[in-house]
Amino acid sequence: MKLILNEEQQMLRDSAKDFAEQKTPVSHFRGLRDNKDPLNWDKEIWKEMVDLGWSGILIPEEFGGSDFGLAGISVIMQEVGKTLTPSPLFATAVLGASAITSFGTQDQKSKYLPLIASGEITTAIAVDEESHHAPANTITKAELVNDKWILNGKKKFVVDGASADVLIILARTSGAKGENTGLTLFILDANAKGVEVIKTDMADCRNYANIVLNNVAVDKTAILGDQESGGEAVDKILDEGRIALASEMLGNSEAAFEMTINYLKERKQFGVHIGTFQALQHRAAEMFCEIELTKSAVMAAMQGADENNNDLQRMASLAKSIAGETLYLVSNESVQMHGGIGVTDEYDIGFFMKRARVAEVIFGGANFHQERYANLSNF
């Protein structure tokens, strides 16, 4: 496996870099936060992303996409991560598109994928029900009553759940809490009767929601994938999401590191630039090394996904774990090296720490993925 981008992927990354720098610098995110935007993302910016084809990168050409692969969307995630760009890109173009492309029926693909590619709908996947990531602990029930599935339960921390038009719900059709079997995915309208969406505020000022399902009735055609195979299906969907998110976290780390290095070159104490202090040089060197290591792990994972590598689960967990630990380190060190101003709202560096704290726990933190990696490796 070559840990380098091909020419098309490089062009896509360059295009994403130009877009993020020109259209969505960190000041764009700051403006949305200050204006208390209800969506926490800009519709016009999302439309421009759609026009660039980003919403259809994981969608087959027959449904209006480009089928450019996970590496394609990951390099975009990395670049928009550098400017903390908020958008439905992750929840819709990665998670939603991956779920329906991989497990949807022909009718489901024909219905939803063209709408995702054209930006007409956004999606969200609702998996967790506890404060920690644990899909197997699902207790949301789906019962078959008179040819209708009736869903009841609660979902927490749904990424982009507050603005999604379509929800993908993991529910239990048999078995008990803690079992990975007996789980089924359902796809339904977010405005369906009995669906209550409760917007939640997090430190990173992104779009999240808790979702309550109260006797939500859906047809049998709402099942995504095979009945009671949702545990395996959601693993694949989330692994692709974890890799894309790890790419964004890598971009977060790179930007925070660059901002810090620039500050070390500019800030003077005792008449000299603080970047000449050996202790700070050592800390900066450690950050640089960890970022380079993260690049390798993320690159291997996204290339492995496109090559259908049999070791994808371990690669995804490795990438997410390393990306989380690196972003934690870099965001902490960056704020500390900025000194007192690092914790003030006037400077952008604090936004990266806030994003880090939330991104680390989405679909499993470092501890979750280290344990998962160990189990997959039969340790």
Structure tokens at 4: 């380098």
Contact (CB, 8 A) for 77 and 255: no
Q: Based on the domain organization, do 102 and 210 belong to the same domain?
A: no
Q: Based on the domain organization, do 306 and 335 belong to the same domain?
A: yes
Q: How high is the pLDDT of residue 1?
A: 59
Structure tokens at 270: 């005792």
CA neighbor of 88 nearest in space, from 35, 43, 126, 151: 43
CA neighbor of 162 nearest in space, from 127, 199, 125: 199
Q: State the alpha helices, DSSP H only, in the chain.
A: 7-23, 26-34, 43-51, 70-82, 97-103, 106-117, 230-266, 278-306, 312-337, 349-359, 366-376
The DSSP symbol for 53 reads: T
Q: Based on the domain organization, do 89 and 131 belong to the same domain?
A: no
Contact (CB, 8 A) for 344 and 315: no
Which residue in this structure is represented by tokens 């693909």? 109
Q: Based on the domain organization, do 172 and 148 belong to the same domain?
A: yes
Q: Based on the domain organization, do 214 and 294 belong to the same domain?
A: no
Distance between CA atoms of residues 318 and 320, nearest Å:
6
Last residue of a domain, one of 81, 104, 122: 122
Q: How many domains does the chain have?
A: 3
CA neighbor of 158 nearest in space, from 215, 199, 116, 97: 199
The DSSP result for 125-192, as a single string, is: EE---SSS--GGG---EEEEETTEEEEEEEEEEEETTTT-SEEEEEEESSS-TT-SSSEEEEEEETTS
Structure tokens at 204: 């990173």
Q: Based on the domain organization, do 160 and 293 belong to the same domain?
A: no
Q: Based on the domain organization, do 178 and 301 belong to the same domain?
A: no
Q: Based on the domain organization, do 245 and 318 belong to the same domain?
A: yes
Distance between CA atoms of residues 169 and 155, nearest Å:
9
pTM above the 0.85 mark?
yes
Q: Based on the domain organization, do 217 and 129 belong to the same domain?
A: yes
**Degrees, nearest 5: CA angle 180-185-189:** 150
Last residue of a domain, one of 101, 122, 143: 122
Last residue of a domain, one of 122, 143, 163: 122
Q: What is the pLDDT along the chain (379 residues), one digit of tens a residue?
A: 567 788 999 999 999 999 999 999 999 999 999 999 999 999 999 999 999 999 999 999 999 999 999 999 999 999 999 999 999 999 999 999 999 999 999 999 999 999 999 999 999 999 999 989 999 999 999 999 999 999 999 999 999 999 999 999 999 999 999 999 999 999 999 999 999 999 999 999 999 999 999 999 999 999 999 999 999 999 999 999 999 999 999 999 999 999 999 999 998 888 888 888 999 999 999 999 999 999 999 999 999 999 999 999 999 999 999 999 999 999 999 999 999 888 899 999 999 999 999 999 999 999 999 999 999 998 8
**Coil/strand/helix, residue 218:** strand
Q: Based on the domain organization, do 278 and 358 belong to the same domain?
A: yes
**CATH number of the domain that residue 286 is part of:** 1.20.140.10
CA neighbor of 135 nearest in space, from 6, 231, 279: 231
Which residue in this structure is represented by tokens 């055609």? 221
Q: Based on the domain organization, do 78 and 161 belong to the same domain?
A: no
Q: Based on the domain organization, do 65 and 163 belong to the same domain?
A: no
End-to-end, the C-alpha distance of the chain in Å comes to: 25
Structure tokens at 96: 């939603």
CA distances from 134 to 85, 126, 131, 139, 156 (A): 27, 12, 9, 11, 11
**CATH number of the domain that residue 36 is part of:** 1.10.540.10
Contact (CB, 8 A) for 331 and 353: yes
Q: What residues make up the domain containing 332?
A: 231-376
Distance between CA atoms of residues 18 and 132, nearest Å:
36
